Amino acid sequence: MNRRIVGLMLASIFGLSILFFQLFEVTGARDTPEEADGFYERIAAGDDYSFLIVGDSIGRGSGASSPSTAWFSLFEKGVSEKYGSNGERISIVQSGATAFEGFMKYKDEKPSSPVNLVFLVFGENDRKYMNEKQFSYFYEKLLRVLRIDHPAADIVTITESCLAYEGFAKEIARLSKAYGATNIDMRIPFNASGLSPDKLTTDKVHPNDAGYLLYANEILKTIQEKSEAKNTKEIAVLPSPVNGNLGIDYKLLTNPSINSGFVNMRDGYFSKTKNSYLEYTFEGTMVGFLLERGPDGGMIDVTIDGKPAETLATWWPFERSRYNYIASSLEDSQHTIRFTFNGERLSTDSKSGQPSVKIKAIVVEKQ
């Protein structure tokens, strides 16, 4: 009797084991996301697709008269009309952003699953804060993490129509080639149009509806050419880094070493007092900071190791937390950075009343 019971138990366990592995195989197949396909495979089959935009104000369509006339809306419409595929858009964009801010913002907001297509739109703001070598480092850092997180995605890098700094454009093209991304230089169709910047932009930087139509048409033309040329699925290979030290990660230092006149608000340090300052000590070659920008934002004087670095405006039309690049290529040693509120407003800010500043943390390299 006991042997019979044991035999029945073993048979039951064996049967359950087979059922478990069968269920595991089915579940494993279902867990493979549709987003694992590349964009061209999706539209070739007439399937819907997901796409991600990481960029600055042009990435978000600033200058368009309505969302429907921004480049990404025109792109979605064109793909739908030609291939019957509808897009799900994810935007990680910020006016005035640099590739450094794009990298930090992407880490905070990245999609929970891979997408089929990625657009990367930076360059015009970066040239205001860093040289092309520094830009190349942060641009590659962002491009690399996008390739890792979205291994099957097709990546399109946009050289903005307003970018006049050739060194930055060359770095975008060089890194795009290294990472198997398609670079679209929008300066070419803008120049070929024969129209002046006044006819294609709102302010010689941000495209208007006519300018964004050129963006969309150039993207759609490139996609059609690529789609016709792609006969087999290409497996993305992560290349060797072009720039050194790309593995360095960043952390936030929230507590200053010296606080003179700022109030600790738990989520940052706030002040309306002229000449109040915060001082932080850090180690490494790079520093940025996380601040709250808003309508009452004032001006901050920044020094590193006692030497003037820059004066930064914290004004913005609405309250928004922002990552700001300050400096890189510092000596790999200990440094002191001081933020002094000078009590002034941005020269173009006509609002009356007392300005203020709020600093949340500095961004430094993990040691």
For the chain, domain boundaries:
34-229, 250-365
| Angstrom distance (rounded) from CA 314 to CA 240 | 38
Binned at pLDDT 50, 70 and 90, residue 228 comes out as: confident
Strands 357-365 and 250-253, sheet pairing: antiparallel
Q: What is the pLDDT of residue 231?
A: 54
The yes/no answer on whether domain 250-365 falls in CATH 2.60.120.260 is yes
| Angstrom distance (rounded) from CA 79 to CA 87 | 8
Give percent helix, percent strand, percent coil of the chain, each to the nearest 5. 35, 30, 35
Residue bearing the bigger pLDDT, 155 or 19: 155
| Contact present, 85 and 123 (Cβ < 8 Å) | no
| Angstrom distance (rounded) from CA 30 to CA 20 | 15
DSSP, res 207 = B
Q: What is the pLDDT of residue 235?
A: 62
Please give the average per-residue pLDDT across 253-264, as a whole number: 98
Q: Which CATH number fits domain 34-229: 3.40.50.1110, 3.40.50.720, 3.30.413.10, 3.30.70.100?
A: 3.40.50.1110
Strands 357-365 and 263-264, sheet pairing: unpaired
Percent of all residues in the chain with a pLDDT value above 90, rounded to a whole number: 83
Say if residue 33's pLDDT is above 80: no
Buried b (16+ CB within 10 A) or exposed e, 175-210: bbeebebbbbbbeebbeeeeeeeeebbbeebbbbbe
Q: What is the pLDDT of residue 69?
A: 98
| Angstrom distance (rounded) from CA 228 to CA 50 | 20
Give the model confidence (pLDDT) of 324-361 as tens digits.
999 999 999 999 999 999 999 887 776 778 999 999 99
DSSP 256-271: -SEEES-EE-SSSEEE
Q: What is the pLDDT of residue 352?
A: 76
The reply to whether 250-365 shares the fold of 34-229 is: no
Binned at pLDDT 50, 70 and 90, residue 234 comes out as: low
Say if residue 46's pLDDT is above 80: yes
DSSP, res 233 = P
Say if residue 11's pLDDT is above 80: no
Q: At 51, list the tokens.
A: 């796409």
| Angstrom distance (rounded) from CA 54 to CA 92 | 5
